[in-house]
Structure 1
Amino acid sequence: MTEQSNKPGFWAIFWVFLQLGLTSFGGPSAHIGYFRHEFVSKRRWLSDADYAALLALCQFLPGPASSQLGMAIGLLQARYRGALAAWLGFTLPSALLMLAFALSLTWWQQPLLDGVLHGLKLVAVAVVAQAIWAMAQSLCNSLRKALIMLLSAAIVLWQPAAIVQPLLMLAAAVAGVMLLRHQPAAAGTALTGKAVSQRLALSCGLLFLLLLTGLPVASQLYPQPALQLVDIFYRTGALVFGGGHVVLPLLQAELVPTALVNADQFMAGYAAAQAVPGPLFSFAAFVGAVAQTGSSPLPGGVLALLAIFLPSFLILSAVLPYWQRVSQQPTVRSAIAGVGAAVTGLLLATLYQPLASSSILTPQDAALALLAFIALQYFRLAPWLLVLTGAIVGALLY
């Protein structure tokens, strides 16, 4: 039996990511923890080293890092069908919820959501803490790696600007080459497969650039609201660094002053996006649905959603084949080791700010987050069950 025949198909990948899309609360940092539990610890589709290499790549690229990471995992398992299955499964639940919210703005008033959201944020703290603990054991297993991790965390907490993260990844790569030589090769690594041909990678890269430069021109020549919407969301997805939260000022500057979206509606949708599982970029479905484009809400929401995620898919496909080849070189392995330690440091910083600082407000919160961590780490409670428990506890206590 060939290696490819042992890999999951479209529906198997879709089902796994659908479960994650239904239960992955807490934003990109928590998603990284959920993904690691599912694909490294549980299913062993990737090793920790492969996971860190993919995560490092997605940190370098513009767009939503956790969604790109999911696409990359699907791409390596079943090529483009796998990438599509991963994106659909992970994005569909939050996109449908945001579309439903857009269609029900007139009666959406549920104070209970505040308590549920708080409970889910405490679960996210535990998920990220458990991921950091596991990743540190394999990716920061020397004094030098631990120092890179701690220094990275300190730098991000000191300077949380979006541009700092890709610069920090570059600095960690240089530190890895200088300080972490003779890193062992990963035997049977998943990153050596040919999920994307170089010809197709080049085509995706050219299409990425063509749309990035051509859509603004086309929207000026043919000022149709739908085309303007696609242009805005494609450029946002292509140029945003630093995760889903950075999308807020970019979209607000494009949509609110031009009266495509009402300011109150925009902020209400962004607040609702914090309470749903899955990628924060699903906020695009809400904005596209309420945008004044002259069309019905559903097509606008779908169009905006596709436009904001398309750049991530194209640029990942363009870069991944070359990343697969160079990631096995000794110098690059040392760089990846440094980046893996820095990625763990980024998660450590995120655990403190904004997750713990915005979630753990009382001793009761700290106790509940600690109990959730113990349930994950020592009792191996399934993450989806912990999410359900956190929602119920939050609704009852807060």
Structure 2
Amino acid sequence: MIVEQLGLKDFRNYAVADVSLSAGANVFIGRNGQGKTNLVEAVAYLAMLGSHRVSHDAPMVRDGTDAAIVRARLAHGERTVLLELQLNRQGANKARVNGVNVRTSELPRYAQVVLFAPEDLQIVRGDPSARRRFADQLIVQRTPRMAAVLGDYDRVLRQRSALLKSARARGVRGDALSTLDVWDDKLVTLGTEVIEARIALASALSQPVAHAYEAIAGDDHRPRLTWALSVGGGDPEEDDAVETAGSALPLAEQFRASLAARRSAELERGLTLVGPHRDDLVLEVRGLPVKGYASHGESWSIALALRLASAELLRAESRLGDPVLILDDVFAELDAGRRARLAKFAAGYEQVIVTSAVEEDVPPELRAHVVRVEAGQIREPGDE
């Protein structure tokens, strides 16, 4: 897949922007705060239905306006498709494909992007929510219908948790809260599908992560990915992790039994303590957890490997061709060896988009098409 044209209106610091991109390597060069990352954030949103920088859409709408527009013309081989997205400061977003109104959840069917940014170090070093978000965004890219499943799970979770909080305030005992059983059924059905998709993802990523890690780090440190699941009786959110992949009970039965066992604790705290929203993706190198044990270089390597493995996985499974690989302001963070190895890995993709404050930080093989960004203005080659 190739992004041929990107148009923005009232997106971040851009009143209006229009930029042409080419196959192969593209570099946005500009000082910090000029709008380079805003451009790649817009591209990535079409594929991930979210930003890698903020959890809500409102910050992406330019101050003083009610909505932002992102338009992208994509090429899939000989076929082109025009995606249009309206991000509203309030209310639901809107989307069109080739001029036809569609649900926003349809956009990842046409756009596949893998973005690596300095914020991705939080996947390795941050709290479990960063790792869950990484996994869920990739799951949606592999299987777009999972966006609806994840959305429904979040809705049920909010409603069940609100019921628990209300019961706690009223001093209701668990055996007197029969309405909770209805929400348990919905939580188990949707949550089991999410957990199964995450376990399958960890298995599918295993080899690509090992390959990408060795390619970037230059060493085989035996990276490993496993899920610590709250349905096993522990609570990964509170560092009480239990891996349950080997349990003899079907996953849904484990889920239901764990809900029953923790009902009193849930009522005491007014929280839903069991489900995929409490799980954690455990990352290891050299047989040790990355978080807390890995060096700075190892942490960068595993974060990069996760994104590059995602690109390899999508490349192998997709009928859209290669995903667009975006490297947002990362070369300044890497030593010379990792820069060279990353450039070699990235150069094999149909399209790569790089941002950098310093042009010389980007290896020469990724500087085929340079675009300069100054205060929300695009300066392409040949512009006065």
TM surpasses 0.5: no
Q: Per residue, is there more strand in 1 or in 2?
A: 2
Name the TM-score class by shorter chain. Answer: under 0.3
TM-score, length-scaled by structure 2:
0.25
TM-score, length-scaled by structure 1:
0.24
Q: Per residue, is there more helix in 1 or in 2?
A: 1
- Pick the structure with greater CA Rg: 2
Q: Which has the higher contact order (CA 8 A, sep 6+)?
A: 1
